[in-house]
Amino acid sequence: MACPQLVDATSAALIEAAASLDAQKLIEHARKLATLNTRFEVALNNIARGLSMFDAEGRLIICNGLYREIYGLPDELTEPGTPFSRIIAYQAAKDGSANTAEDLRRQQLWVTEHAAELQYGKIFTHTHNLPDGRIILVTVQPLEDGGWVDIQEDVTEATLARERITWLARHCPLTEIPNRFHLRERLEEALQCLGSHEKLAVHLVDLDYFKQVNDTLGHAAGDAVLKAVAKRMLATLRENDAVGRVGGDEFAIIQRGISGPEDAARLAERLVKTLNAPYRVLGSNAAIGASIGIAIAPDHGVDSDTLLRKADMALYRMKTCGRGRSYVYRTEDEAVALERMELRSALRDALKNRQLGLHYQPIVDVKAGTVTACEALMRWQHPSLGMVPPSTFIPIAETSGLILPMGEWALHQACHDAAGWRSDIKVAVNLSAVQFDQSDLAISVQRALDASGLDAERLEVEITETALLKCEARTIETLGRLRALGVRLVLDDFGTGFASLNYLRNFAFDKIKIDQSFINEMADRRDCMAIVGAVTGLARTLGIGPVAEGVEELEQLEGVTVAGCQEMQGFYFSQPVPAVEVEAAVAACVSRLAHVSSAGLSAS
């Protein structure tokens, strides 16, 4: 039997040992817990999102440093136990709220709604737009005990990027106005809201001569002009109107709340005047114009596709009549557009199947009694339509690009035909502005001369003032290269442009042709007689030969002769004839000139 004292001593020793062991475990546990807490704090403050945790009473349990930084919270509001409502009130004050009774009511309502969301026990999100422009996405995870965890993520950059992508999908980044897609949306919305007695207009605006700005001044200048055009349009329109860029140099306008076509025409007139004003871009002057086609809803259609198509038809009709004005769609334009499409296809076939031909009209010197040249004029004999007028098919050829191969063919054919004429008769070939703009004309001319063996001095190339206006710098350069080849240069339709004298100052032409409109009205209008006389005198002073076009009657011949012009052409002397009849036509002209001379009508 053990001694009681020994048992007590042993028990005491065991208790002491056990206590010592528990203390060591507690210390070790506390050490591990401290390490864990340290690691948790490091992890908490190094995650890329803000984090906060609140208990069921809405009191802060813990938050990390990024949460504090995102909202700019002072230290006392990030202490455990801080009510969520105090943090909300602080944020409201920072946002500019004055903590009035109404402000406090709104804050309390927000907190109440937030608590209600927690009751569903599902994750939900909301967005905070901070005063400094940052956008914070908050994801809320409810906890089982009624509290919650917030995760705050700065989504400013991603949100702005998405907004930019969405904006770019609907706007032109250069001009910052709606693109074709967005403008169509705006048009469809406007049509849906159109009342039973309301109208709206769609204006399709095409910039005349814009390509020449790009070609002569560069694309940076072209971009600057486009931006200036957009600004001018916006300044001209009302607040409820809309404008968009629907193509390279095409814009469209939605004009709402109009009473009829007259309102649309007045706006178009203001736009043309505004857009035609000179532009100063990148240190240079740029000159463009505007042509506008107009369709009215519901008169011409009630859907966007129909209205845009008919505005385009109106724009085409505008261009066929000239540029720099506006035109409202008419029903008959539909047939014109269909005819144009059919003729374009037929013209392509005509070029391929050699249905095109050249006729030649003599140009005479009344004083010398000779034929100096023959002008080559293109003719199209359609299988079913018969002879199609050049005034019909040449504009179609120019807008479709067919004028390039047609012009190339005409140049080669005319040189080939002229090579078989008498050596003192030249051939004159008309050149389109499109040829100057889109082809290396000097090389084409050289090839035609080489292929035909025609002397360069027997070739006259005619260019209109319109071609010069479209691309003056490039055209002047090309004319210089043609002159270097020995080709003679003629300015056609002189007097119909607005800068004729400027062209004569910038480039020395060999001949100028006085437009037939002045010759036609000489008998009825004294000013036309004066103009013909003035032009003739000016030409002689500059050493340029004047030629009168469209002389059809003896009275006109007499008037032109009195004005001092001795070289002329027209039906009075000869109609245009096929190549095989040129020799006979020349002989007939010489015979008629002899008759004129014997009657005493030659120029003195």
Question: Does the structure show a pLDDT above 90 at 514?
Answer: no
Answer whether the bond into residue 80 is a cis peptide, omega within 30°. Answer: no
Weakest mean pLDDT among 4-18, 175-189, 262-276 = 4-18
- Would you state the pLDDT for residue 19? 58
The pLDDT of residue 455 is: 96
Mean pLDDT of 409-435: 94
* Parallel, antiparallel or unpaired: strands 326-328 and 567-568: unpaired
CA distance 601 to 547: 17
Q: How far is CA 411 from CA 165, 337, 394, 414, 425, in A?
A: 51, 30, 15, 5, 16
The yes-or-no verdict on residue 1 having pLDDT over 70 is no
Would you state the pLDDT for residue 159? Answer: 83
Please give the Cα distance from 199 to 67 (Å, whole number). 56
Q: Is pLDDT at 255 greater than 90 in this prediction?
A: yes
Give the pLDDT band (50/70/90) at residue 212.
confident
Comparing CA positions, the residue from 430, 435, 428 lying closest to residue 471 is: 435
Number of neighbouring beta carbons within 10 Å of residue 279: 18
Rg (CA), the chain: 43
**Burial readout 8-42 (b: 16 or more C-beta within 10 A, e: otherwise):** eeeeeeeeeeeeeeeeeeeeeeeeeeeeeeeeeee
Q: To the nearest whole number, what is the mean pLDDT of the chain?
A: 84
Using CA atoms, how far residue 483 sits from 22, 320, 477, in Å, is 113, 32, 10
Q: Name the pLDDT band for 507 (thresholds 50, 70, 90).
A: confident
- pLDDT score, position 243: 96
**Domains of the chain by range and CATH?**
50-159 (3.30.450.20), 172-331 (3.30.70.270), 339-598 (3.20.20.450)
Locate tokens 């009035």: which residue?
100
- Find the mean pLDDT for residues 222-241: 94
Whose tokens are 């916006």? That residue is: 234
pLDDT digits (tens, 9 = 90+) for 441-474: 899 999 999 999 999 999 999 988 766 665 566 7
| Among candidate residues 358, 44, 344, 333, the one with its CA nearest the CA of residue 204 | 333
The dihedral built from the CA positions of residue 556, 559, 562 and 566, taken in this order, carries a sign that is negative
Task: Write down the pLDDT at residue 547.
Answer: 93
Rounded Cα–Cα distance for residues 275 and 192 (Å): 31
* 122-131, 262-271, 361-370: range with lowest mean pLDDT: 122-131
Q: Is the dihedral of CA 8, 12, 18, 19 positive or negative?
A: positive
**80-82-83-89 Cα dihedral, nearest 10 degrees:** -140
Are the CB atoms for 483 and 448 separated by under 8 Å?
no
Which helix (H) or strand (E) segment is 131 a member of?
none
Name every residue whose Cβ is closer than 8 Å to that of residue 256 and which is 6 or more positions away in sequence.
Answer: 190, 200, 240, 241
- pLDDT for 190 beyond 60: yes
Contact 236, 268 (CB under 8 A): no
> Counting Cβ atoms within 10 Å, is residue 292 exposed (0-12), middle (13-18) or buried (19+)?
buried
SS3 call for 569: coil
pLDDT at 282: 86
Cβ–Cβ under 8 Å, residues 488 and 459: yes
User: Percent helix, strand, coil in the chain (nearest 5)?
Assistant: 50, 20, 25
Predicted confidence at residue 36, as pLDDT, reads 58
Q: 545-548 and 567-568: which strand pairing?
A: parallel
More confident residue, 114 or 127: 127
The C-alpha atoms of residue 364 and residue 37 are separated, in whole angstroms, by: 110
Residue 23 in this model has a pLDDT that exceeds 70: no
The larger pLDDT score, comparing residue 385 to residue 523, is at 385
* Pairwise CA distance, residues 358 & 371, whole Å: 18
Rounded distance, CA 603 to CA 365, Å? Answer: 10
For residue 247, what pLDDT is reported? 87
Band of pLDDT at residue 269, cut at 50, 70 and 90: very high
**Which of 129, 151, 156, 127 lies closest to 140, judged by CA?**
151
Instruction: Judge whether residue 337 has pLDDT over 80.
Output: no
Task: Say how far apart CA 426 and CA 325 lie, in whole Å.
Answer: 39
d(CA 500, CA 215): 22
- Partnered with residue 387 across adjacent β-strands are 381
Rounded CA separation 570/520 (Å): 11
pTM comes to 0.57
Nearest CA to 405 out of 462, 348, 455 is that of 348
pLDDT at 536 over 90: no
Position 32 confidence tier, pLDDT thresholds 50, 70, 90: low
Rounded distance, CA 195 to CA 215, Å?
46
Higher pLDDT, 330 or 101: 330
* pLDDT range class, residue 2, cuts 50, 70, 90: very low
Strands (E), 421-466: 426-430, 459-464
| pLDDT over 70 (residue 401) | yes
| For residue 301, pLDDT beyond 70 | yes
pLDDT band at 242 (very low <50, low <70, confident <90, very high): very high
CA–CA distance, 268 with 527 (Å, rounded to integer): 33
Closest CA to 311 of 381, 206, 234, 223: 206
